[in-house]
Amino acid sequence: MNVIQVDIPKSKHKFKQFCTILDDAYLKHTEPYNVEVIHNNKKVKAGIHKDSQKIGDTNPYFDEQLLNPKSDIELNNDIFLLYDDAGLNYAHFFFDFFGKCLYYDELKKHNPKLKLGILEEFYQEKGNSTFIKQWLDFYYQDQDIEITIFKKDTQYKIKNLILPNSFYWFPEAEGDDYIIEKIIETVNKIPKLEIKSNGCYISRQDTIKRGWYHGRDLVNELELIEQIQNELEYDIIELMDYDIIGKIQIFKSYPIIIQQSSASNIGVLFSNSNNTHVIISNPRMAPWLNFKVSQFSQKSKANLITLDGAGEYLSEEILPNTDVGNYPWRLTDIEGVISVLKQIDKKEI
């Protein structure tokens, strides 16, 4: 076992910048999207266990002692494991998950044959999480990258397994400058589209249709959508109908983009000074997410307007037996919201 420091440019968390190298390690992709690593007959936490990553704990092991595991497949390679337990979440992917690619990029400069390892759940051609494979394929399109995909319920023995510690944990206030720089550098390679409409609204109905949401849905969103279509004649966009290139083009191409507080606010980083973002603030998420979105707009130069105080959080008294961290919400004054949106459309704000 060896711990190596990796110097990433512009990082505010140098003490957390390390990778753990385990020789003859065993790895298994377990259900539903978890990973188990065993080394020296002990379960490994370094580079996998989120709480350990946050504090920069270099102790690689849990206390539990195990018997010698047996392998189904042996890999005589150096493999960098790209993994984060929140990586299937759109926002956490770009920061917690993709941020670790910065370690890989640095290490590969010194070890050109270093392979990139990823669980098959995070590298799909179909389903709700295809954006991960699409982004990684586009990001590494001009590089000689060899990817090892770890199949579910298969035990691998790996010559040298490299586990990166967390580089940045969304939504920390600072430490993501270099990640943002790489995101913007990547999206700048994608051309914008010719758009006839002056604006669009990013609907969250796609997540409801697919059952892919936290429960933080806007309960009167359909009424809002109807008003936007009738009063503004904006396009209604469901992002899950698009691949990652299409998503980026939407945020680069529409002059005005309206959306709720959600993971899709990452799209502010895909935009530029020709785009104006209007965020209708979720009353629970706004206090922390609007701060990050403001940082995104400063980096991308996109214009940003946040509409605060237009909605209310639905509590236990209204919706009993609901996940306390993920209550829905509703707009209390849709007409007022539409009035403001009309002013923005006419460039009166």
pLDDT digits (tens, 9 = 90+) for 154-166: 999 999 999 999 9
> Which of left, alpha, beta for 347 (phi over 0: left; psi -120 to 50: alpha)?
left
Pick the last residue of a domain from 118, 152, 187. Answer: 187
The total number of structural domains in the chain stands at: 2
Check whether residue 165 and residue 209 sit in a common domain: no
Q: Would residue 91 count as lying in a domain? A: yes
pTM of the model as a whole? 0.94
So what's the pLDDT on residue 10? Answer: 76
Task: Examine the domain organization and report whether 80 and 152 are in the same domain.
Answer: yes
- Tens-place pLDDT, residues 181-206: 999 999 999 999 999 999 999 999 99
Task: Give the per-residue pLDDT at 327.
Answer: 81
Q: What pLDDT does 325 receive?
A: 66
> At 315, is the secondary structure helix, strand, or coil?
coil
Q: What is the pLDDT of residue 63?
A: 86
Residue 46 DSSP symbol = T
Q: 323: buried, middle or exposed (CB in 10 Å: 19+, 13-18, 0-12)?
A: exposed
Mean pLDDT, the chain, integer: 93
Residues 26 and 175 in one domain: yes
11-46 confidence digits (pLDDT tens): 777 888 999 999 999 999 998 899 999 999 999 998
Q: Specify if 194 maps to a domain.
A: no
Domain that holds residue 309: 199-345
Tell me if 214 is assigned to some domain. Answer: yes
Q: Which of 127, 162, 187 is the last residue of a domain?
A: 187
Q: Domain for residue 192, yes or no? A: no
In sequence order, what are the residues at sequence separation of 6 or more whose Cβ sits closer than 8 angstroms to the Cβ of residue 38?
Answer: 25, 26, 44, 66, 69
Tell me: the pLDDT tens digits for 266-278?
999 999 999 999 9
193 located within any domain: no
Are residue 169 and residue 238 in the same domain, yes or no? no
The predicted structure's pLDDT at residue 215: 74
Given a cut of 80, is residue 212 above it in pLDDT? no
Per-residue pLDDT at 316 exceeds 80: no
State the Cα–Cα distance between residues 125 and 276, nearest whole angstrom: 32
Question: Is 120 within a domain?
Answer: yes
Average pLDDT over residues 123-135: 95
Share of the chain above pLDDT 70, in %: 96
Mind giving me the DSSP string for 80-145? EE---TTTTSHHHIIIIIGGGHHHHHHHHHH-TTPEEEEEGGGS-SSSTTHHHHHHHHHHTTTS--
More confident residue, 95 or 328: 95
Residue 324: predicted pLDDT: 65
User: Residue 217's domain is classified under what CATH number?
Assistant: 3.40.50
User: In the prediction, which pLDDT does 340 show?
Assistant: 97
Domain identity same for 182 and 275:
no
Give the closest residue to 338 by CA, choosing from 280, 276, 286, 293. Answer: 280
pLDDT at 319 over 80: no
Main-chain phi, psi angles of 144, to 5 degrees: -85, 90
pLDDT at 223 over 90: yes
Taking residues 220-238, what's their average pLDDT? 97
On whether both 111 and 33 belong to a single domain, the answer is yes
What pLDDT digit, counting tens, does each position of 111-126 carry?
A: 999 999 999 999 999 9
Record the tokens describing residue 230, joined without a space.
């009738």
Give the C-alpha separation, 213 to 221, whole Å. 14
- How high is the pLDDT of residue 24? 97
Do both 208 and 177 map to the same domain?
no
* Virtual torsion, Cα 72, 76, 78, 79, nearest 10 deg: -20
CA-closest candidate to residue 175, choices 37, 61, 8, 19: 8
- In this predicted structure, what is the pLDDT of residue 6? 93
The pLDDT tens digits for 67-88 are 778 999 999 999 999 999 999 9
Phi, psi torsion values for 326, nearest 5 degrees: -140, 45
